A and B are shown apart, each in its own frame.
Chain A
Amino acid sequence: MLAPLRTDATGGSDPSRSARPGSERAGEAPDAGGTALAEVTNLAVAFPEGPRSWRRVVDGASLRVDERGAVGLVGELGSGKTLTALALLRLVPEPGRIVGGSVRVDGLDVLAAAEQALTGLRGATLGLVLQEPALALNPVRTVAAQVGEAARLHGAAAAATAALVDELLAEVGLDAPSMRRAFPHQLSGGQRQRVLIAAALSAGPKLLVADEPTAALDVVAREEILDLLDRLRRERGLGLLLSSHDLGAVARATGRITVMYAGETVEEGPSATLLAAPLHPYTVGLLASRPDAGAPGGPWHAIPGRPPRPGEWAPGCRFAPRCPRVFERCRVARPALVAVAADRSVRCFLHGTAAESDG
């Protein structure tokens, strides 16, 4: 199941392991010496397609979040980034299954762990903030009840929970006394997202995973939420995994970025370097497609074609049908994710040793 991963730069066995910096993290985060807090290697997730056939919709996803590090997970609809984030908690929705790869969070082998160990992981080690705050909140329960829920489930007493809820709400900038008794429909989109963040923090996690936390927000609210996540990470010493389809938005709140396309990781590196000098043609195209790129009055840049439906990938390189730099080999062989520098890896025959993947 696991493809042997190769690397030309460090001779290590796993590019996501070798590709990490000692210092380039967002903000003035203390460097924890690069200890992996969460690591996904060559993850594969499949959904049943027929009575006996399964279709892989994620295959080759790798990412790593260091202690106190902030990582942006960038990809379009259907790229597999949400499933990859959920796999950190072994919460891939039914009838989907994790069919390959490994997932480690805080020393725990998530795929081999017993259900009971996972209960300790969910909420207590890893807090999850879901994409659509309007759907993730219960419309008939108050803010206070929902923020305190995870703390109660992990054993906090009622009195302690009440005090904790006040602290958490203040920490995310919702300190108005009326906020405790408010219902979700009385809040703005940005306020709802803050409630979810407070709830995710209530059991004191080491890692916060936020899946598209700003997708439903306008540009001003988006910046406020990104600032909040960055502050919480620094103050609490959290690891942060921030998924988004917006490369520019995550770059400002993260030290490293992992780019996914068609169910696999295609590029990984320090945020600033990746934005300034993208390597994978998909990342290059994505950056050129930003609305503020290009000349006014000129045509808009777009990557031709459309993103593939989940699991309906081209043989060879999955980006080949849309790639402006495609050549013969791309259509027949699938490139492996290889380290091209001490802290960068890319899955493209144009870079590095251009190893083929057996996966």
Chain B
Amino acid sequence: MASAGRPVVLEARSLVREYPARGRRRMGRAARVRAVDEVSLSLCRGEIFGLLGCSGAGKSTLARLLAALEPPDRGVVLLHGRTFGVGGAGPRGARRRAVQLVFQDPAAALDPRQSIGAAVSEPLVVHRLVPAARRAEAVAALLGEVGLPADPAFLAGRPGRLSGGEKQRLVLARALACEPEVLILDEPVAALDASVRGQVLNLLAGLQERRRVAMLLIAHDVGLLGRFCERLAVMADGRLVEEGPSETILRAPRHPETVRLLIAAGSAPAETKSPEFP
């Protein structure tokens, strides 16, 4: 599964996550919905891995399990081959720092009352990454890396006055402050204006090259994933139903769900218009 001999950074083995189903009961017991069903995948250093699927396929739950925001019911997530249990602040804290999650709506991810400067320095303080004396310098470097200014007036401002694209840059600066090895990006440009999406995507491509950070890019836009990612996985009903090099999946999709997504996006190869479902 690892590509081109690059070391595996993050590996998920047979992850399962269930939630109680609303309103349904079977045999006197509350029914459960399997949001993530036996999912295994691995992310290599410096690769961009795409995760494609419809709403409700389980993509965001999988992201939360990988980032240790919630524990799986079964299965493990390994960071550099090491297991972390669900309890214990230490190792789980380490994974929380090393695996950073960026959500779709940057406005919801930022505290409207916190100054821009404080938002970027907060992770440095929480994870004790930079001594207080060098913090201002580190904040300026992080803002520079995502293409935002770092003058005192800007640092003192609140995120509310930023545009959508600028807010997402700020969220990225916060994630980068943690010196992550894995960035999980859950629909990072879906809420942004079409004319500035490319700016954020170019920024992400630059980060991946410069920092060699592994990225898991979650989206339902086939065109975006196909162009951005080396490898793709397709998720449906909690399961990974297809995985492989992006080019292969887009050119010769095998699973009906992949075909359905490609047709909806208007980018299915001609010969897959009427697939023979297995």
Binding stretch for chain B, among A92-100, A159-167, A212-220 = A212-220
Smallest distance from the beta carbon of B256 to chain A beta carbons, Å?
Answer: 12
Contacts of A186 in B (CB 8 A): 22-23
B34 at the interface (CB under 8 A from A): no
A228 at the interface (CB under 8 A from B): no
Binding stretch for chain B, among A1-9, A25-33, A235-243, A301-309 = A301-309
The docked-state distance in angstroms from the alpha carbon of A217 to that of B266 is: 16
Q: Are B195 and A302 in contact (CB under 8 A)?
A: yes
Given contacts A220-B260, A300-B201, A306-B163, contact A292 B267 (CB under 8 A): yes
Q: CB-defined interface of A275-313 with B at 8 Å, one 1/0 digit per residue?
A: 000000010011001111010110111111011010000
Q: Are B55 and A289 in contact (CB under 8 A)?
A: no
Contacts of B223 in A (CB 8 A): 290-292
Contacts of B186 in A (CB 8 A): none
Q: Are A245 and B224 in contact (CB under 8 A)?
A: no
Contact of B227 among A188, A296, A303 (CB under 8 A): A296
Given contacts A77-B164, A299-B205, contact A221 B197 (CB under 8 A): no
**SS of B interface (majority):** helix
Q: Are B54 and A218 in contact (CB under 8 A)?
A: yes
Contacts of B199 in A (CB 8 A): 300, 302, 304
Smallest distance from the beta carbon of A172 to chain B beta carbons, Å?
Answer: 19
Contacts of B156 in A (CB 8 A): none
The docked-state distance in angstroms from the alpha carbon of A246 to that of B191 is: 12
B157 at the interface (CB under 8 A from A): no
B118 at the interface (CB under 8 A from A): no
The docked-state distance in angstroms from the alpha carbon of A297 to that of B222 is: 15
Q: CB-defined interface of B223-239 with A at 8 Å, one 1/0 digit per residue?
A: 11011000000000000
Number of interface residues of B (CB under 8 A): 32
A171 at the interface (CB under 8 A from B): no
Contact of B202 among A285, A299, A307 (CB under 8 A): A299
Q: Are B195 and A291 in contact (CB under 8 A)?
A: no
Smallest distance from the beta carbon of B249 to chain A beta carbons, Å?
Answer: 13
Contacts of B198 in A (CB 8 A): 289, 299-303
Contacts of B260 in A (CB 8 A): 220
Q: CB-defined interface of B218-258 with A at 8 Å, one 1/0 digit per residue?
A: 00111110110000000000000000000000000000000
Given contacts A188-B55, A223-B264, A300-B201, contact A218 B220 (CB under 8 A): yes
Given contacts A188-B56, A300-B202, contact A77 B226 (CB under 8 A): no
Q: Are A77 and B55 in contact (CB under 8 A)?
A: no
The docked-state distance in angstroms from the alpha carbon of A286 to that of B195 is: 6
Contacts of B264 in A (CB 8 A): 219-220, 222-223
A205 at the interface (CB under 8 A from B): no
Smallest distance from the beta carbon of A271 to chain B beta carbons, Å?
Answer: 14
Contact of B196 among A189, A252, A306 (CB under 8 A): A306
Q: CB-defined interface of B170-206 with A at 8 Å, one 1/0 digit per residue?
A: 0000000000000000000000011111110110010
Q: CB-defined interface of B49-66 with A at 8 Å, one 1/0 digit per residue?
A: 000001110000000000
Contacts of A245 in B (CB 8 A): 193-194
Smallest distance from the beta carbon of B170 to chain A beta carbons, Å?
Answer: 13
A76 at the interface (CB under 8 A from B): yes
- When C-beta atoms are compared, the residue in chain A nearest to B267 turns out to be A292
Q: CB-defined interface of A45-85 with B at 8 Å, one 1/0 digit per residue?
A: 00000000000000000000000000000001100000000
Q: Are A218 and B55 in contact (CB under 8 A)?
A: yes
- When C-beta atoms are compared, the residue in chain B nearest to A285 turns out to be B195
Smallest distance from the beta carbon of B273 to chain A beta carbons, Å?
Answer: 14
B31 at the interface (CB under 8 A from A): no
Interface centre among A292, A300, A306 (most CB of B within 10 A): A300
User: What class of interface size applies to chain A in its complex with B?
Assistant: 35 or more
B47 at the interface (CB under 8 A from A): no
Contacts of A307 in B (CB 8 A): 163, 193, 195-196
Contact of A76 among B22, B195, B220 (CB under 8 A): B195
B123 at the interface (CB under 8 A from A): no
Given contacts A219-B261, A289-B198, A302-B198, contact A76 B205 (CB under 8 A): no
A247 at the interface (CB under 8 A from B): yes
The docked-state distance in angstroms from the alpha carbon of A274 to that of B144 is: 38
Contacts of B23 in A (CB 8 A): 186
The docked-state distance in angstroms from the alpha carbon of A252 to that of B221 is: 17
B265 at the interface (CB under 8 A from A): yes
Contacts of B227 in A (CB 8 A): 291-292, 294, 296-297
Q: Are A303 and B54 in contact (CB under 8 A)?
A: no
Contacts of B195 in A (CB 8 A): 76, 282, 285-286, 289, 302-303, 307, 322
Contact of B220 among A77, A219, A247, A294 (CB under 8 A): A219
Contacts of A221 in B (CB 8 A): 54-55
Q: Are A291 and B224 in contact (CB under 8 A)?
A: yes
Smallest distance from the beta carbon of B181 to chain A beta carbons, Å?
Answer: 24
**Residues of B near any A CB (own CB < 8 A):** 22-23, 54-56, 163-166, 193-199, 201-202, 205, 220-224, 226-227, 260-261, 264-267
Top-10 shortest CB links A-B? A302-B198, A292-B223, A300-B198, A291-B224, A303-B195, A76-B193, A291-B223, A300-B201, A302-B199, A218-B55
**8 sampled A-B residue pairs with Cβ under 8 A:** A217-B55, A220-B261, A291-B227, A302-B198, A306-B163, A306-B165, A307-B163, A307-B193
**Residues of A near any B CB (own CB < 8 A):** 76-77, 186, 188-189, 217-223, 245-248, 252, 282, 285-286, 289-292, 294, 296-297, 299-304, 306-307, 309, 322
